[in-house]
Amino acid sequence: MHIRLNKALLSGILAGMALIIGLLFAVVTGSQDKIAFVRSADLINGFTSMQETQERFKEKDQQWRQNIETLGTELEKAIEQYESEKDALAPDRRSEREFELQLRREQYVHYAGSLGKKARQEQREMMQAALDKINAFVKDYGAARGYTMILGTTAEGNLLYGHDAADITEEVLKALNSYFGGAEASDES
C-alpha cells in the first residue's frame, strides 16, 4: 500500500511539474514541440528492475516478520511457563521473574518497532533507486528521440487527456527493460 501511494505521489508531483513547465514553454515559444506521455503506473509496474526490487524487499520483509513472530512465540511461552510456576515461587523470586518478563516484553516491542521503521526506510530507499533509474532513462530516451517533453499520467489526473498516438509507454518500457537487462529485452525491435 505504501509503495503504491509513494509512487503515485511522486509521479503526480513530477507529472504536474512537467506539465506546467511544458505548457509555459509552448505558450512562450509558440513552437510545435514533440510531446508525448507515458502511463506512469504502467511504466513503474512493468519495469523489471522495479519488480525485482519489490521481490527482494518482500523476501526481507518476510524474514523480518518471521523473526518477530519467533520472538513473540518465545515470549508467550516464557509467560505461560511463569504463570504455571508463579504460585510455587517465593515472593522475591516471583518479583524477579515478573521484572525479567516485563523487560523482555519491552525489548520485544522495541525490536518490532525498530524493525518496522527499518523496513519502511529500506523500502523507500529501494523504491527511490528504481525510480531514479526510470527518471534518468526517460530523460535520456526523450533527448535522444527529439522530445521536448514526456509527460506522465497519474491516478490524480495531472494529464486529463492524451491522444493514443502520443502514448509511448510500451515503447519506453521495452527500451527501459532492454537497457537494464530485463525480461522485455528480447522483444526490443
Total tally of structural domains belonging to the chain: 1
Count of alpha carbons within 13 angstroms of residue 110, beta-carbon side: 6
Query: What CATH number did the domain enclosing 49 receive?
Result: 3.30.910.20
- Taking the C-alpha atoms of residue 151 and residue 67, their distance in angstroms, rounded to an integer, is 43
Residues 33, 26 contacting (CB under 8 angstroms) = yes
Single-letter code of the amino acid located at 33: D
pLDDT at 174: 93
- What residues make up the domain containing 53? 2-187
Indicate whether 69 pLDDT > 90.
yes
pTM of the predicted model over 0.75:
no
* pLDDT digit string, tens, across residues 95-127: 999 999 999 999 999 999 999 999 999 999 998
